[in-house]
């Protein structure tokens, strides 16, 4: 019986090591956002109403809005019942999810993608684009592109007016007003006067 040969192992290059370190650092950024948010949430418990914002300004070089984004990101992760690898989510994408910028379907798809790969802003955009239903105008069988069901042209006069504005020449713009010029003799006279009075 012959032993199965293992596939030759690819030699790890310095570039592979750099890529791994970058991925680790990127994962750390999101973990740090969540940790900072949790710490800021705890800090609120030790301060009276109205003291948190001055405390932030005194202790950190970050805006109030940035602190709120950290807090909302941490709260979002804490309340999330979805199994997601939040470390694979870019901080910006996490902030946008925490702000509720995506519908349920988009949010679920974004979080599902984090189980497989790093999801940054461009990946979020691609995920959302893939979820958009095809445009109904492209599927219009009768060739009526404007969706006018009865085919009578509808608002053709209005459309022609809009087309004339958009396709026509730009409106005439009056020339700018001339710039008033100062008299050079006045400047020369005042210079001579000041020279006499100082001498």
Report CA dihedral (127, 131, 132, 133) to the nearest 10 degrees.
160
> For residue 1, is it within any domain?
no
- Residue percentage of the chain with pLDDT more than 90: 39
> For residue 197, is it within any domain?
no
> For residue 79, is it within any domain?
yes
Q: What pLDDT digit, counting tens, does each position of 165-188 carry?
A: 777 777 777 788 777 765 444 444
Contact indicator for 64, 72 with CB cutoff of 8 Å:
no
Q: What pLDDT digit, counting tens, does each position of 69-117 carry?
A: 999 999 999 988 775 688 889 999 999 999 999 999 999 999 999 988 8
> For residue 19, is it within any domain?
yes
> For residue 189, is it within any domain?
no
**Six-digit token string for 119:** 């999801």
Cα–Cα distance for residue pair 14/148, rounded to 1 Å:
62
- Domain count within the chain: 1
pLDDT above 70 for 145:
no
Cα–Cα distance for residue pair 70/143, rounded to 1 Å:
51
> For residue 58, is it within any domain?
yes
Phi and psi angles of residue 10, each rounded to the nearest 5 degrees, phi first: -75, 135
Domain that includes residue 21, residue range: 14-132
> For residue 2, is it within any domain?
no
């Amino acid at each position: 019986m012959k032993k199965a040969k293992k596939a030759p192992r690819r030699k790890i290059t310095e570039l592979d090591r750099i890529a791994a370190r970058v991925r680790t650092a990127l994962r750390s950024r999101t973990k740090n956002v969540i940790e900072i948010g949790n710490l800021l949430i705890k800090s609120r418990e030790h301060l009276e109403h109205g003291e948190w914002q001055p405390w932030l300004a005194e202790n950190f070089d970050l805006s109030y809005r940035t602190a709120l984004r950290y807090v909302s990101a941490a709260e979002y992760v804490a309340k999330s019942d979805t199994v997601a690898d939040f470390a694979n989510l870019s901080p910006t994408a996490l902030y946008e999810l925490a702000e509720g910028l995506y519908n349920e379907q988009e949010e679920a798809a974004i979080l599902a993608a984090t189980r497989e790969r790093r999801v940054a802003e461009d990946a979020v955009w691609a995920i959302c684009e893939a979820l958009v239903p095809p445009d109904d105008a492209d599927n219009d069988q009768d060739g009526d592109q404007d969706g006018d069901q009865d085919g009578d042209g509808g608002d053709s006069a209005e459309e022609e007016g809009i087309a004339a504005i958009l396709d026509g020449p730009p409106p005439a713009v009056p020339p700018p007003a001339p710039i008033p010029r100062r008299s050079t003799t006045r400047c020369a006279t005042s210079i001579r006067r000041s020279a006499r009075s100082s001498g």
